[in-house]
C-alpha cells in the first residue's frame, strides 16, 4: 500500500545544516538563502526544518564539540543583513561564493573583519542591555577574549589568573581585554537577533524548527571552564574520564568522543540547574529539541581518559528520571525527540516512553531485502529518517552495497508498489509512507546526491566532515517540487 492510500501519515520535515545553505560568503548564514529555504519548505507542505547545533564550533569544526551550550557561532551571521541595518559602510563583496564545501578558517577570517567593522558602528540600546544581562553572556565573552589571548588554546593551558577567573574574578584586571569582550557580546547579540528573526519568519510560514543539542559538552568550553564542579576532572582541569560508545555499527574500536563526563551526583545535588538552564534556553531558540545520544541519560559509556580508544570502559547508570522530572517541571512546554539509536537495554525505551518523547528509526538500519519493508511500523510515535548527519546519503548507502543485495532490494520495492523514480526516491517514499507521526529527510536524500554530500563520518576528525554545502540556490529550487509531490502523495502535506 503506497502513501496515497494510507490514512495514518502525519508530518514531514527536511534536515539541513545552516552551514550547508548556499550563501554569498562561503558558509550558510541567517540571510536570504535561509528565508528562501523556509519558503520552499512551506510550499512543499513540509512542516519541519531540522538543523544541526548552532553553537560555536570547536575541535574539528564539529558542532558536537562546541565552545558553549548557550552561545551561537558568529560564522552564521548574515553580513548582508548587517549592511541593511547600516552597520557596514558598503555591501560586502562575495567571498567563496558557489563553493561546494566550507573552508572554515578562511571564511571565519574574512567575516570577522567585517563583524568588527559592524561592531565599531554599533550603538548599544535597551534590547542589547537586556540580552547582555543573561548570566552566560559576559562570562562567555571573557572566555573567548582569553582564548584569543592564548592563541585559542584550551582553558586548562592558560595562565592561572585566567584559568581560575570564574572562581576569583577580582584577581584579574580585565581592562586589557575590554574591546574583545565587548565585541564578543555584540556578536552574540547579533547572532541571537538574526536567529530569532529567522525563526519567526519560518514559523509565520507554518515551518517549525527542530534544534539539535549534544548530550555532552566539549572540554574546551565555557560550560566546563566556568562550571568544572559539574564534571569529573583532575586538579589540572583534565578529564578523568571521557564520553563515547563501545564498538558498534560505525566503528570496530568504538567512538572515543573525548567529552568530559558529568559528575551526576553534583548535578543532582543542585537540582540539575545546568541542564534546566540549557534546556529552557533551547526551548526559546527552537520549536522542537532533538537530544543527541539519549541513551546516556539511562546508562553512559565511561572511558578512562588514558585509553586511546573506546574499547575499554564501563556502563554506568545516570539519573535520567530525576533529571527530566526537574527539567520538565521548569520548562513544561518542551517538545523533545530522543535519539535512541543503537543496541539499547529496555530501560532506555522505558525512560523515553515515560515522558512521551518521540524516538527515532533510521531506514538504513532497518531495510533488509531479505525481510518485509516495515520501517517505522512498530510504533507510530516515532520519527523516521532515511539517514542522519552521521550516515551516508541514501543514494551513497545503496550504491555501496553488493550487486546482489541491490538487485534484491529493487525487486522488493517493486513488489511493494514502488515503481516510479530512482531507487533513492523510492526509499524516501518508503519512509514517508511509514506509520510514523513524523518523517525527516536529509536534503541530500531529497536531491538524490551521493556521498559527496555526506556530513560526517563517526570516529573520524577533520575534512571533509561538516564541510558539505550547496553551491547555488537553484539546486534546491529544482529539488523542492519533487519533495512536495512525495509529501502530498504520502498524505503528509
Residues recorded for the chain = 493
Number of helical (H) and strand (E) elements in the chain, helices listed first = 18, 12
Check 223, 390, 425, 433 and give the catalytic one: 390
In contact, 130 and 185? CB cutoff 8 Å: no
Spell out the residues 6+ positions from residue 17 whose beta carbon is closer than 8 angstroms to its own.
28, 51, 52, 63, 389, 455, 466
Longest dimension (CA), the chain: 73
Check 339, 340, 361, 489 and give the catalytic one: 339
- Annotation marks residue 346 as catalytic: no
Backbone phi, then psi, for 97, in 5-degree steps? Answer: -70, 140
- Annotation marks residue 340 as catalytic: no
The percent of the chain in helix, strand and coil, each rounded to the nearest 5, is 45, 15, 45
SS3 state of residue 72: coil
Name the residue among 351, 238, 240 with its Cα closest to residue 296: 351
- Tell me the C-alpha distance between 206 and 304, whole Å: 47
- Annotation marks residue 390 as catalytic: yes
Check 11, 180, 184, 292 and give the catalytic one: 292
Backbone phi, then psi, for 12, in 5-degree steps? Answer: -130, 155
- Tell me the C-alpha distance between 228 and 165, whole Å: 12
Q: Enumerate the active-site residues.
A: 292, 339, 390
Amino acid at each position: 500500500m503506497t502513501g496515497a492510500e494510507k490514512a495514518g501519515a502525519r508530518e514531514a520535515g527536511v534536515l539541513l545544516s545552516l552551514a550547508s545553505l548556499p550563501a554569498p560568503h562561503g558558509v550558510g548564514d541567517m540571510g536570504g538563502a535561509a528565508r528562501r529555504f523556509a519558503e520552499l519548505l512551506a510550499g512543499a507542505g513540509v512542516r519541519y526544518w531540522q538543523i544541526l547545533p548552532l553553537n560555536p564550533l570547536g575541535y574539528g569544526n564539529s558542532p558536537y564539540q562546541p565552545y558553549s551550550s548557550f552561545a551561537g557561532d558568529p560564522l552564521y551571521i548574515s553580513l548582508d543583513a548587517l549592511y541593511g541595518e547600516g552597520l557596514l559602510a558598503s555591501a560586502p563583496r562575495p567571498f567563496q561564493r558557489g563553493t561546494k564545501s566550507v573552508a572554515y578558517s578562511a571564511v571565519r577570517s574574512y567575516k570577522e573583519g567585517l563583524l568588527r567593522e559592524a561592531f565599531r558602528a554599533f550603538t548599544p540600546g535597551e534590547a542589547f542591555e537586556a540580552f547582555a544581562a543573561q548570566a552566560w553572556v559576559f562570562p562567555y565573552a571573557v572566555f573567548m577574549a582569553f582564548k584569543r589571548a592564548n592563541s585559542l588554546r584550551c582553558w586548562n593551558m592558560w595562565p592561572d589568573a585566567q584559568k581560575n577567573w570564574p572562581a576569583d574574578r577580582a584577581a584579574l584586571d580585565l581592562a586589557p581585554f575590554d574591546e574583545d569582550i565587548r565585541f564578543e557580546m555584540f556578536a552574540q547579540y547579533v547572532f541571537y537577533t538574526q536567529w530569532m528573526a529567522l525563526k519567526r519568519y519560518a514559523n509565520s510560514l507554518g515551518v517549525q524548527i527542530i534544534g539539535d543539542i549534544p548530550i555532552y559538552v566539549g572540554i574546551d568550553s565555557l560550560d566546563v571552564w566556568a562550571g568544572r564542579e559539574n564534571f569529573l576532572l583532575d586538579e589540572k582541569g583534565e578529564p578523568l574520564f571521557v564520553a563515547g560508545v563501545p564498538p558498534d555499527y560505525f566503528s570496530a574500536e568504538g567512538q572515543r568522543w573525548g567529552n568530559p563526563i558529568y559528575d551526576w551526583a553534583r548535578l543532582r545535588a543542585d537540582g540539575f540547574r545546568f541542564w534546566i538552564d540549557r534546556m529552557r534556553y533551547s526551548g526559546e531558540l527552537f520549536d522542537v529539541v532533538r537530544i543527541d545520544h539519549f541513551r546516556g541519560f539511562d546508562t553512559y559509556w565511561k572511558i578512562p581518559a588514558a585509553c586511546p580508544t573506546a574499547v575499554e570502559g564501563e556502563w554506568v547508570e545516570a539519573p535520567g528520571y530525576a533529571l527530566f522530572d526537574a527539567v520538565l517541571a521548569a520548562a513544561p512546554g518542551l517538545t523533545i525527540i530522543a535519539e535512541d539509536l543503537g543496541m539499547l537495554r529496555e530501560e532506555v525505551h522505558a525512560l523515553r516512553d515515560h515522558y512521551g518523547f518521540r524516538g527515532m528509526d533510521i531506514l538504513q538500519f532497518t531495510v533488509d531485502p531479505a525481510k518485509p519493508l516495515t520501517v517505522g511500523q512498530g510504533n507510530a510515535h516515532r520519527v523516521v529518517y532515511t539517514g542522519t548527519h552521521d550516515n551516508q546519503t541514501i543514494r551513497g548507502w545503496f550504491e555501496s552495497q553488493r550487486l546482489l543485495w541491490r538487485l534484491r532490494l529493487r525487486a522488493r520495492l517493486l513488489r511493494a508498489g514502488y515503481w516510479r523514480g530512482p531507487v533513492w526516491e523510492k526509499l524516501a517514499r518508503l519512509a514517508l509512507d511509514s506509520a510514523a507521526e513524523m518523517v525527516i529527510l536529509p536534503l541530500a536524500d531529497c536531491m538524490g546526491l551521493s556521498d559527496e554530500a555526506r556530513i560526517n563520518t563517526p570516529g573520524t576528525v577533520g575534512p571533509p566532515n561538516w564541510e558539505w554545502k550547496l553551491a547555488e540556490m537553484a539546486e534546491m529550487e529544482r529539488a523542492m517540487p519533487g519533495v512536495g509531490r512525495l509529501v502530498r502523495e504520502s498524505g503528509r502535506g
